[in-house]
């Protein structure tokens, strides 16, 4: 053992899920059955027109039906809100929390409030969201003010429902990095319902810390985790083994935090072969987790504030913000 590491300690098993945005060609019930049969612990449920449409009639009744199905299958759930065209069939991810039109911002906030209610009815451990891209002609100070103001009623709803709102740093967005998350947290006065969605591929893509060090630095605020492979400087969600991430130390770091929410595979551009990638992802992660048990732990680093400019890693951001 060196001064920089801690002795091996037993790690709690991680709970892996798969995102329905990577199973968009399947009916929701078929997707849930598939994941249960494959041995997943849960599902990242993106509210979209094909999977528990948040805008169609009878949402409460449909949500109760899904809750019963999740319970019967033994699946945990987190609610994700990255559907591309759920609010506007002509604007991908529009409107956003940053739109100049206050009515448009209110539409996005309304969707998030609805997602919080769905999450509470499903027994979900968090609701995921992201800031959106800086609109043309809007300065960053104005955008941060809009983001804080528009999220306030959503956080109020989250507090009432007892479901944390987990904001995701998304490459190319206003809130793109862990440092940006902390800026929002301080701006809002560190509200208790505000947590973090950490996409581990995004850490590889653009954070100044390694993915494992990002996990250690972010541990107090972790409410939801997404996982895939990725390369430095390129925002492209890749199947495991196709990128550059060293997964055993990353999973060891995550397990050592005590995080017990879902770690959800995020492959939104692979729905054309979703069952294949779902079948191959879980054995990869379980094997990496076994190797992780042999990895000595490092102490949590201080979060570095310097980061590449927003949008620098990729001209065509992917994941939850891409076609």
Question: Is the separation of the CB atoms in 26 and 274 below 8 Å?
Answer: yes
How far is Cα 204 from Cα 18, in angstroms, rounded to an integer? 20
Within 10 angstroms of residue 58's Cβ, the number of other Cβ atoms is: 10
Q: What pLDDT is stored for residue 12 in this prediction?
A: 86
SS3 127: strand
Side-chain half-sphere exposure of 240, counting CA atoms within 13 A: 22
Q: 65, 19, 68: which is closest to 42 by C-alpha?
A: 19
Q: What pLDDT is stored for residue 293 in this prediction?
A: 86
Within 10 angstroms of residue 257's Cβ, the number of other Cβ atoms is: 17
Distances (CA, A) of 12 to 2, 251, 261, 293: 23, 11, 12, 10
Burial 183-193, CB ≥16 within 10 A → b, else e: bbbeebeeeeb
SS3 9: coil
Q: What pLDDT is stored for residue 301 in this prediction?
A: 54
pTM of the model as a whole: 0.90
With tokens 């990128």, the residue in question is 243
Q: What pLDDT is stored for residue 300 in this prediction?
A: 53
Q: How far is CA 219 from the centre of its chain?
A: 14
Question: Is the separation of the CB atoms in 155 and 165 below 8 Å?
Answer: yes
How far is Cα 75 from Cα 192, in angstroms, rounded to an integer? 26
Cα-based torsion angle of the residue sequence 13, 293, 277, 54 in order, rounded to the nearest 10 degrees = 30
Q: 186, 188, 321: which is closest to 266 by C-alpha?
A: 321
Helix (H) or strand (E) holding 236: strand 234-238
Q: What's the per-residue H, E or C state across 241-254?
A: CCCCCCHHHHHHHH
Question: Is the separation of the CB atoms in 128 and 197 below 8 Å?
Answer: yes
Could you read off the pLDDT tens digit of each residue along the chain, which spans 323 residues? 444 445 555 678 999 999 999 999 999 999 999 999 999 999 999 999 999 999 999 999 999 999 999 999 999 999 999 999 999 989 999 999 999 999 999 999 999 999 999 999 999 999 999 999 999 999 999 999 999 999 999 999 999 999 999 999 999 999 999 999 999 999 999 999 999 999 999 999 999 999 999 999 999 999 999 999 999 999 999 999 999 999 999 999 999 999 999 999 999 999 999 999 999 999 999 999 999 888 676 655 554 433 333 333 333 344 443 33
């Amino acid at each position: 053992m060196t001064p920089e590491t801690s002795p091996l300690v037993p790690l709690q098993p991680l709970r892996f899920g798969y995102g329905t945005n990577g199973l968009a060609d399947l009916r929701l019930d078929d997707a849930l059955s598939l994941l249960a049969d494959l041995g997943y612990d849960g599902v990242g449920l993106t509210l979209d027109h094909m999977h528990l449409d948040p805008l169609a009639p009878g949402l409460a009744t449909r949500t109760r039906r899904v809750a019963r199905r999740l319970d019967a299958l033994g699946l945990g759930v987190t609610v994700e809100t990255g559907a591309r065209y759920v609010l506007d069939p002509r604007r991908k991810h529009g409107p956003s929390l940053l739109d100049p039109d206050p009515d448009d911002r209110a539409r996005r906030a309304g969707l998030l409030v609805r997602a919080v209610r769905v999450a509470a009815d499903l027994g979900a451990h968090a609701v995921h969201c992201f800031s959106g891209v800086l609109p043309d002609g809007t300065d960053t100070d104005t955008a941060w003010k809009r983001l804080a103001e528009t999220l306030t009623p959503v956080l109020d709803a989250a507090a009432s429902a007892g479901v944390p709102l987990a904001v995701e740093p998304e490459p190319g967005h206003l809130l793109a990095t862990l440092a940006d998350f902390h800026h929002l947290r301080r701006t809002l006065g560190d509200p208790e319902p505000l947590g973090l969605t950490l996409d581990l591929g995004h850490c590889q893509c653009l954070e100044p810390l390694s993915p494992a060090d990002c996990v250690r630095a972010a541990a107090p605020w972790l409410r939801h985790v997404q996982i895939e492979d990725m390369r430095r400087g390129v925002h492209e969600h890749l199947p495991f083994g196709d990128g550059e991430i060293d997964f055993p130390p990353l999973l060891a770091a995550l397990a050592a935090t005590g995080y017990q929410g879902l770690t959800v595979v995020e492959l939104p551009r692979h729905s054309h072969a979703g069952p294949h990638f779902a079948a191959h992802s879980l054995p990869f992660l379980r094997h990496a987790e076994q190797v992780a048990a042999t990895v000595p732990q490092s102490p949590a680093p201080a979060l570095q504030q310097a980061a590449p400019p927003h949008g620098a890693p990729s001209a065509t951001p992917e994941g939850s913000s891409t076609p």
